[in-house]
Amino acid sequence: MLKEIVWMGDAKKRLLGFPKEVQRSIGGALMLAQFGGKAQHVKPFKGVGGGVFEIVERHQKNAYRAVYAVQLGERIYVLHAFQKKSKTGIKTPKPEVDLIKQRYGEAKELAQDE
């Protein structure tokens, strides 16, 4: 069964601002998730909750991310999409993590109302 995608906050608007190749790759990974699969460039996103994944995309020396939750009811919640401009290596910047945590909480509430 194909799971519905719910976009949290400005995640979709941000994704649409990414280069077309990145949009296609992230879109493909989300579509695979809708069918219950997991793309090769998807990894667990630590520190938020179980069932939260990060789509990792590199394009012309830039890093792009989309974070989604799959274990909240019958839908897939895209929590955030952002271009990573980290000065601290591979770690996701704290403001991005805080936003992901906030939207994860909101997604949990939405899932309870399903």
**Per-residue pLDDT tens for 4-54?**
999 999 999 999 999 999 999 999 999 999 999 999 999 999 888 789 999
The domains of the chain, with CATH numbers, are: 4-112 (3.30.2310.20)
- Cβ–Cβ < 8 Å for 55, 42: yes
**Structure letter (DSSP) for residue 45:** P
Q: Give the strands of the sheet with 52-59, arranged side by side.
A: 4-7, 75-84, 62-72, 52-59, 42-44
- Cβ–Cβ < 8 Å for 43, 53: yes
Does residue 86 have a pLDDT over 60?
A: no
pLDDT confidence of 68, banded at 50, 70, 90? very high
Rg of the chain taking only CA atoms, in angstroms: 13
Q: In sequence order, which residues have a C-beta less than 8 Å from that of residue 88 and are 6 or more positions away?
A: none
SS3 59: strand
pLDDT at 54: 95
Q: What is the pTM of this model?
A: 0.91
